[in-house]
């Protein structure tokens, strides 16, 4: 089985890239094909080698985290390779992991091909499996950090303190300062006095997903 390919990207289509590996062209379906347009020289793409009776497909990812999460998604009833690829094209792996850990159905149902029942199955099937499975402390350290904030309230110091803690959790998930500032601008007028830090994080993730 192919674990990864290394070589230049010589062709890009809407759903896949073609890699030249020692004079052999490999068609690889990836979450964001056009992201490879800016890459020069050889690139490493981590592969899921998917074999069916009628076809053999290669699905590729820029990181081991994406590769592992893709395989975990395939364990969920109702999620096939195309849907799993669409999920990874729309959300950062760390955000998807955090949403599953926090049982954030609202976030999950905004991912392509994911309805409410499938989101519920993702939470049921993956919540325990993802912990410790995706990246050695990377994604799940971030998700664990987010989980530790669950249940904490804004308290006497107001929304500023709560957002500071929520912001730190979101920054641990890989979001930039500009993205977080934009999310806060969309949230600050609706923050309630008794809102939890976890609630703020969930609503900020929704803002971030909207772009």
Is residue 142 a part of any domain in this protein? no
pLDDT tens, residue by residue, 8-38: 999 999 899 999 999 999 999 999 898 888 7
Domain residue limits at 50: 4-61
Helices (H), the chain: 64-74, 81-90, 93-101, 105-108, 116-130, 138-148, 159-172, 177-187, 197-210
Of residues 63 and 138, more confidently modeled: 63
Is residue 183 a part of any domain in this protein? yes
35/73 same-domain check:
no
Range from 28-42, 72-86, 98-112, 183-197 carrying the lowest mean pLDDT: 183-197
* Rounded (10°) angle between helices 177-187 and 159-172: 140
pLDDT tens, residue by residue, 144-163: 444 443 433 333 334 556 77
For 53-72, what is the mean pLDDT? 91
Q: Which of 61, 81, 99 is the last residue of a domain?
A: 61
Residue 49, domain CATH:
2.40.50.140
Unique residue bearing structure tokens 């890699």: 19
Phi, psi angle pair for 113, to nearest 5°: 80, 5
Tokens of 154: 């804004």
Instruction: Say how many domains are in the chain.
Output: 3
203/162 same-domain check:
yes
- pLDDT of the residue at 160: 57
Q: Which of 136, 162, 192 is the last residue of a domain?
A: 136
Is residue 141 a part of any domain in this protein? no
68/101 same-domain check:
yes
Residue 90, domain CATH:
1.10.150.20
Of residues 140 and 87, more confidently modeled: 87
**Which among 40, 37, 24, 36 has a CA at the least distance from the CA of 61?**
36
Is residue 180 a part of any domain in this protein? yes
């Amino acid at each position: 089985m192919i674990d990864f390919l290394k070589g230049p990207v010589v062709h890009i289509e809407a759903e896949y890239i073609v890699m030249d590996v020692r004079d052999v062209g490999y068609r690889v379906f990836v979450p964001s094909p056009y992201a490879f347009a800016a890459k020069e020289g050889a690139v490493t793409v981590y592969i899921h080698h998917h074999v069916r009776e009628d076809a053999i497909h290669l699905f590729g990812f820029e990181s081991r985290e994406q590769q592992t999460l893709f395989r975990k998604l395939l364990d969920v009833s109702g999620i096939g390779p195309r849907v799993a690829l669409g999920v990874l094209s729309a959300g950062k792996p760390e955000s998807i992991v955090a949403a599953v850990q926090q049982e954030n159905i609202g976030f999950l149902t905004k991912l392509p091909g994911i309805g409410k029942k499938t989101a519920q199955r993702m939470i049921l099937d993956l919540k325990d499996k993802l912990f410790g499975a995706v990246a050695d402390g990377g994604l799940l350290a971030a998700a664990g950090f987010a989980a530790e904030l669950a249940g904490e309230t804004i308290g006497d110091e107001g929304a500023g303190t709560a957002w500071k803690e929520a912001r730190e959790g979101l920054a641990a998930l890989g979001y930039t300062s500009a993205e977080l500032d934009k999310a806060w601008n969309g949230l600050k007028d609706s923050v309630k006095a008794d809102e939890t830090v976890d609630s703020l994080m969930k609503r900020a993730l929704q803002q971030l997903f909207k772009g």
